[in-house]
């Protein structure tokens, strides 16, 4: 009898290598999911950027105050133009220098705000490219519907005012 366990030369045995993939869920540590905003805040905003975000509106406000020339009841033109300190007087002793200083402060503040907004705007622009925008006809139709609805609401609330005014005047007279 022939031995059945022996392989014949006509049919050699083929072996396959199986790659074992490690599944991320098999690890005991679960990854915490964070929102996209939190990722941006953690990656791209250091302490200095938060400080800039707080100080840039203050810088814009000071620039506007200098352009206007008043801070509350104090006239900044008189105070800053004749302070006796040469460095301060250099920037404020003429109206042109005062205007240029104020414009410079406002522009620097706006540039800082734009610099800080870029990490938020970059993903938004990428997402806007994926949007299928409406045609001009459907946009006009939808805009007119919203406008007519707002006009209808205005008319309804005006009528409510006319109808309920005698009632409220009578209630207030009691």
Residue boundaries of the structural domains of the chain = 36-123
Could you list the mean pLDDT of each consecutive 10-residue stretch along the chain, which spans 174 residues?
55 58 51 63 68 90 85 67 72 81 93 88 86 93 98 97 92 89
d(CA 139, CA 132): 12
* pTM of the predicted protein model: 0.47
134 within 8 A of 127, measured Cβ to Cβ:
no
DSSP codes, 77-144: HHHHHTSS-HHHHHHHSSHHHHHHHHHHHHHHHHHHHHHHHHHHHHHHHHHHTT--PPPHHHHHHHHH
d(CA 64, CA 77): 13
């Amino acid at each position: 009898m022939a031995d059945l366990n022996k392989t014949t030369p006509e049919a050699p045995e083929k072996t396959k290598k199986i790659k074992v993939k490690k599944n991320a869920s098999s690890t005991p540590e679960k990854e915490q999911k964070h929102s996209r905003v939190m990722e941006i805040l953690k990656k791209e905003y250091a302490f200095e950027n938060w400080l800039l975000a707080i100080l840039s509106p203050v810088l814009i406000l000071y620039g506007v105050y200098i352009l206007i020339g008043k801070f509350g009841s104090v006239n900044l033109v008189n105070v800053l133009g004749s302070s006796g300190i040469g460095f301060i007087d250099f920037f404020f002793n003429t109206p042109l220098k005062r205007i240029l200083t104020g414009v410079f402060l406002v522009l620097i503040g706006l540039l800082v705000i734009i610099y800080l907004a870029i990490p938020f705007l970059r993903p938004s622009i990428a997402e806007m490219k994926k949007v299928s925008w409406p045609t001009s006809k459907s946009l006009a139709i939808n805009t007119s519907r919203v406008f007519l609805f707002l006009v209808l609401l205005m008319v309804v609330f005006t009528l409510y005012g006319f109808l309920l005014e005698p009632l409220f005047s009578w209630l207030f007279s009691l």
